C-alpha cells in the first residue's frame, strides 16, 4: 500500500527544512499515494523572510487551510499513515501534548496518534525549558517521534542546503521513504 503523507509547516524558524523536504518528497513521488500540506500564515511569512521566495505556492501538492477540518487527514478514516511537522514550533508541540485540537495541524496530529500511526515532530527551537522537555516526553509516550533539527557533519556538507539535508534525509528515513543519501560506514 502506498503512503499517505501530510506535511505541516509552522512558523518556527527553519523554512529551509520544509522546503527541502517537500522538494525531495516530490522527487520520490513513486513512494507515496497522497501528499498533503498545511502551512500556517506565520510559516508563509517566515518562508518569505528566510528563503526570499514563495516557492511553496508552486509545489505540485495539495494544500489545505489551517482551519479546514474537512481535510481527509482530520479523521482516522482518511487513513493517512505519516504526519511530519517541519519545523514544529514549541507552541504546536504544546497543543499536541495537551490534546488541544484547535486547528487542522493539532487535529491531524491527534488523529495520527490515536490511530497509532507515525507522527514526526521536527523541533527547531533551542534551548529547551522544562515545559518543552515535558511536552516532548508526552508526545513521545503517546507514540510520536521527536526529531530535533540537529544536523550531522559526517558527510562534510558545504552549503546551508547540504547541512539542512542531513536533517531532512533523517526525517525521510523515519517516514519510511527509501532515499539515496550518505550512510555511515559506507
In a domain, 182, yes or no: no
pLDDT in tens, 4-20: 999 999 999 999 999 99
In a domain, 180, yes or no: no
String of DSSP letters for 45-79: HHHHHHHSS-GGGGSSSEEE-TT-TTSGGGSGGG-
What distance in Å separates the CA atoms of residue 101 and residue 137, rounded to the nearest whole number?
A: 19
Q: What is the pLDDT of residue 119?
A: 98
Q: Can you tell me which residue has the cell 520544509?
A: 18
What distance in Å separates the CA atoms of residue 130 and residue 53, rounded to the nearest whole number?
A: 35
Q: What is the pLDDT of residue 182?
A: 81
In a domain, 70, yes or no: yes
Q: Which domain holds residue 41?
A: 3-174
Q: What is the pLDDT of residue 1?
A: 61
Q: Can you tell me which residue has the cell 533551542?
A: 126
Residue ranges in the chain modelled with pLDDT below 70: 1
In a domain, 119, yes or no: yes
Q: What is the pLDDT of residue 184?
A: 85
Q: What is the pLDDT of residue 70?
A: 96
In a domain, 52, yes or no: yes
Q: What is the pLDDT of residue 36?
A: 97
In a domain, 64, yes or no: yes
In this structure, what CATH number is given to the domain that contains residue 39? 3.40.50.1950
In a domain, 120, yes or no: yes
In a domain, 184, yes or no: no
Question: Per the structure, how many domains does the chain have?
Answer: 1
Amino acid at each position: 500500500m502506498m503512503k499517505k503523507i501530510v506535511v505541516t509547516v509552522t512558523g518556527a524558524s527553519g523554512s529551509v527544512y520544509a522546503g527541502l523536504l517537500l522538494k525531495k518528497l516530490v522527487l520520490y513521488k513513486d513512494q507515496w499515494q497522497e501528499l498533503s500540506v498545511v502551512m500556517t500564515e506565520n510559516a508563509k511569512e517566515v518562508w518569505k523572510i528566510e528563503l526570499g521566495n514563495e516557492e511553496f505556492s508552486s509545489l505540485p501538492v495539495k494544500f489545505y487551510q489551517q482551519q479546514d477540518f474537512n481535510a481527509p487527514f482530520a479523521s482516522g478514516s482518511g487513513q493517512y499513515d505519516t504526519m511530519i511537522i517541519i519545523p514544529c514550533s514549541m507552541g504546536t508541540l504544546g497543543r499536541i501534548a495537551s490534546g488541544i485540537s484547535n486547528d487542522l495541524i493539532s487535529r491531524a496530529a491527534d488523529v495520527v496518534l490515536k490511530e497509532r500511526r507515525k507522527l514526526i515532530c521536527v523541533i527547531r527551537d533551542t534551548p529547551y525549558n522544562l515545559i518543552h522537555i515535558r511536552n516532548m516526553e508526552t508526545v513521545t509516550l503517546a507514540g510520536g517521534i521527536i526529531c530535533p533539527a540537529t544536523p550531522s557533519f559526517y558527510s562534510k556538507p558545504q552549503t546551508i542546503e547540504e547541512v539542512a539535508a542531513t536533517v531532512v534525509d533523517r526525517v525521510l528515513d523515519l517516514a519510511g521513504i527509501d532515499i539515496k543519501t550518505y550512510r555511515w560506514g559506507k
